[in-house]
Structure 1
């Protein structure tokens, strides 16, 4: 597993945990950076992803809600929401990651961690976000 793949998974874990515990994800990130819960500190890219998502939270949610075609964010599995937020940030606001890589990584995470229907949904929604990203940034 590559370094950025691991960083995405850790960012997903933080977003998911914050939602489940109903805590602010930025506060949780700061807490984990100050006192890691594992022997391996969070990768820099994990922090960049979480900060990027937090910084564009409203815009990301609007994009996902607009293009999810009848699937409100609240109705999506929590894992899917976290994966979609990370990938949407990478697609729209991070020029260092090719769209195809962000989409493929998101699909792979949902294949491993979510429902059987999630990979197809995530792939389709993120492909649409990629198509319209120039109007979003």
Structure 2
């Protein structure tokens, strides 16, 4: 697993924990960064957590619009975290190709969630990828 893939997984872990605990993800991450009890935090993990947090309202709005038949609250928390990271990379990370953002999110869903999650994540991010250029133009 590459450094960026590990950073994505760590970001999903932090976002998931923050979601479940009702905590602020950036604060939670800051606690991890200085802690001697946890492995060092990759800069890209920080970028992802801070980026998702900064754009979370818009990210959640887009997920809700494109998750056919699912509300955000009804989704498993890990799927929400994976979708948030994938969508952040899709729309705001200019150095990550769309296909890579989607593939990485699918791999995280395979590793961390249910058997149906990879297909669900692919569907949501795929629908958004079709209009990604239009969305980026108004961000």
The bucket for the TM-score relative to the shorter chain is: over 0.9
Displacement of 1:80 = 0.4
CA gap of 1:25–1:125, structure 2 versus 1, over 3 A, is same
Aligned pairs for 1:57-136 within 5 A: 57-136=56-135
SS in 2 for 1:41: coil
1:4 aligns with 2:12: no
Change (3 A) 1:36 1:78: farther
1:51-106, CA deviations, whole angstroms, 9 ceiling, x for partnerless residues? 00001010000110111112111111111000000000000111100111111111
Q: CA deviation at 1:36?
A: 4.8
SS of the residue 1:73 aligns to: coil
Provide the residue aligned with 1:26 in structure 2: 26
Is contact 1:36–1:42 with CA below 8 Å preserved after alignment? no
Q: Distance in 2 between matches of 1:130 and 1:72?
A: 20
Task: Report the 3-state secondary structure (helix = DSSP H, G, I; strand = E; otherwise coil) of the residue aligned with 2:99.
Answer: helix
State the Cα distance separating 1:134 from its structure 2 match: 2.1
CA RMSD of superposed structures (Å): 1.0
Aligned-partner Cα distance in 1 for 2:88–2:36:
24
Q: Structure 1: state its 5+ residue gaps.
A: none
Which sections of structure 2, spanning at least 5 residues, go unmatched?
none
The whole-number CA distance in structure 1 between the counterparts of 2:42 and 2:112 is: 20
In 2, distance between residues paired with 1:86 and 1:18? 14
